[in-house]
Structure 1
């Protein structure tokens, strides 16, 4: 069975996190799902595979994870840090014996952040490199490869994308994504605002006009429904200065940036220059790098909020955290040059999530096979040590969302660092029921 093509509409941004941001909303599973712990068995549809026998064959010797990635061009540095973090996580596992003796290997091919090249790469990774698992950076890349990858029944796990199209398990049963969905993230944002403004508030949205920005804006407006939070203005981010001028006259107490990474400092600076200081300024979760996205805005970024799920190795908040100490010790042993880099953490966590899937597959009746890996990934519930305590990865076949909780952090311009702004808010009850 061939899956319907997803016609990509998103504009590719110039930074990795923008490229990997949440994308469009509107197709997310509703709360009728079952929690992953109670989801029961999900069986991979091997009968639809080009080669059903290959999908159920047990993996021995080496398990290869193939990446199509921007190894050249402006994203190469960030992508390289992600890949190195993952390789280091696999090296640690291999030193401990691998997955029941099966060693893990990362195979990469350069797509220069071009979806057409990613498509060709995935064909080579499957046919020539004989990889067992795939991954890609970016929604456009995922769109380009998903049909071929699903037909071949090679699992594509934790794609650096968040578009809802590929959360359709019926049409894309061999694909999962890592980044949070727009609907989930904005439901958290509105829950945070409800706690801060129990008597209601006026809110405004500045939206990037790509599918990523529109998805965040649509998710935010959807989450506002039925609350006493009033949307008083929505403007385009095409011209941040004009947007700031319009928003300053809106009377809004709250500003929500439905943008991609490059919008975060641009809107901050524009709002600061306009003389407007919203009481609450919420940035998207793809804006978590303090050095590049908040420091340049100076005092204008002070007090801004962002949803976070990963521990920050550069923060003193986690200095005594056992998971952090273990992470830093293992990265040091691997001679990793940038253990506190957020991209390194990202790669390590994706590798850690994969290791958990592989172990669970190996212990299952389907064994360590393409089918077994996919079946384990579909019902995975796991707390990665580098996730903030209280935030788990939760997957269910009818709610394949992964990240369903965040902790709000606030930028302190004087100290040039993020500080906690309250505790973890878990919104999984909106999507998963036990």
Structure 2
């Protein structure tokens, strides 16, 4: 009975993490370039019919429709959200870091209590058909898992093994700091002894943002390290392994990417993201342009695109927006660059010759800094009505401060 109670507690904690993550951002993605194309076309369909139901919007992998984004930006429905937030029993002092953490702790405890209650009542959890039932209609058929599948793999009396593939070297090495932060947080959790006497063993593998290396490390983490769950970073990397991870029925939560493919509860129910869909971000760029450059519409937009699944998700997301909103975007020019390119001079020269009104950086890692520097050096920045750097490059120390005043005035949604 004690083991069952501990497992219920652990599953409740994981459910709570998932629900908190869903509240903070959307999930996403698909397969290679073809999956990006599928995501973009799905987004375009959403844009073409603003009356689509919320259920239909979810089919795009967590991408919000243009109508939903514009309502959010305009503040429509914000009063209801404020009333719902005010109804919480948790303290709300957001003037200090301590107050913010106290509210988060309270909300987390409330979610865990709610989930635990539903699981103990038999509403959520594994039912008599061996289906895992959860919130919002979540249902996973455990009968489809491998014959030797064990839901307690990587879970012992004193340890939980988490595996992660990420990038700690190369052009995107700055994202390795996310793993350091996670390790510090797990150490803190261990110090509280809240996992029924278990400590978290966090096994980090640096794949250098190379998908082939990700495949090798995921095999190692599954077959040798026997991890309880896997987590990773990078759209190309996730797309290379999420089929196998889902076939093995290994939890693959909070993937560090906003590719629209991660929102696939039917074919890839074990994979979730924790951040906003890149397709939604593309709609937000367009909505900002529509609202803030109203007197200049329609405008010419150029995008500097990392030439991989990550960058193509941005490119095709904004392309779908542009096609559906010719009154906002007159012309759209995406210019792709090699992810490992040491400079972006040629690409920015091409963009400058296009003479856009708006520049959008659709890249990641060190190329975000290079893009800002090259746009300023080319003289293009002074001619722009607006310039954006992506949400994945909002780190001030890594991507903005090194550019100095060249980064002044860039927008991030």
Separation in structure 2 between the aligned mates of residue 126 and residue 54 of structure 1, nearest angstrom: 12
- 1:89 is displaced (CA, Å) by 1.3
1:282 aligns with 2:296: no
* 1:308-387 mapped onto 2 (5 Å cutoff): none
> Partner residue of 2:292?
196
> Partner residue of 2:142?
46
1:81-140 CA distance string (max 9 Å, x none): 322211221222222232354433312345454433332332332233221110123233
- 1:281 is displaced (CA, Å) by 0.7
Higher-Rg member (1/2): 2
1:266 aligns with 2:370: yes
1:223 aligns with 2:321: yes
Structure 1 pair 194/70, CA: closer, same or farther in 2 (3 Å)? Answer: closer
1:48-67 CA distance string (max 9 Å, x none): 10037623889563322112
CA contact (8 A) 1:207 1:214 kept: no
Separation in structure 2 between the aligned mates of residue 234 and residue 294 of structure 1, nearest angstrom: 24
> Partner residue of 2:305?
208
- 1:246 is displaced (CA, Å) by 5.3
> Partner residue of 2:40?
26
> Partner residue of 1:116?
212
- 1:7 is displaced (CA, Å) by 6.0
> Partner residue of 2:17?
none
Separation in structure 2 between the aligned mates of residue 256 and residue 111 of structure 1, nearest angstrom: 28
- 1:25 is displaced (CA, Å) by 4.4
> Partner residue of 1:64?
161
Structure 1 pair 227/52, CA: closer, same or farther in 2 (3 Å)? Answer: farther
Separation in structure 1 between the aligned mates of residue 402 and residue 167 of structure 2, nearest angstrom: 26
Structure 1 pair 204/45, CA: closer, same or farther in 2 (3 Å)? Answer: same
By relative contact order (CA 8 Å, sep 6+), the higher-ranking structure is: 1
Structure 1 pair 301/219, CA: closer, same or farther in 2 (3 Å)? Answer: same
Structure 1 pair 99/256, CA: closer, same or farther in 2 (3 Å)? Answer: same
Structure 1 pair 26/106, CA: closer, same or farther in 2 (3 Å)? Answer: same
CA contact (8 A) 1:45 1:173 kept: no
Task: Return 5+ residue gaps in structure 1 as ranges.
Answer: 1-5, 11-21, 308-434
Separation in structure 2 between the aligned mates of residue 125 and residue 245 of structure 1, nearest angstrom: 44
- 1:248 is displaced (CA, Å) by 4.7
Which has the larger share of helix? 2
Selected match of 1:144 from 233, 240, 261:
240
Structure 1 pair 78/290, CA: closer, same or farther in 2 (3 Å)? Answer: closer
Q: How many matched pairs? A: 290
TM-score of the superposed pair, with normalisation by structure 1: 0.57
TM-score of the superposed pair, with normalisation by structure 2: 0.59
RMSD value, Cα = 3.7
> Partner residue of 2:66?
none
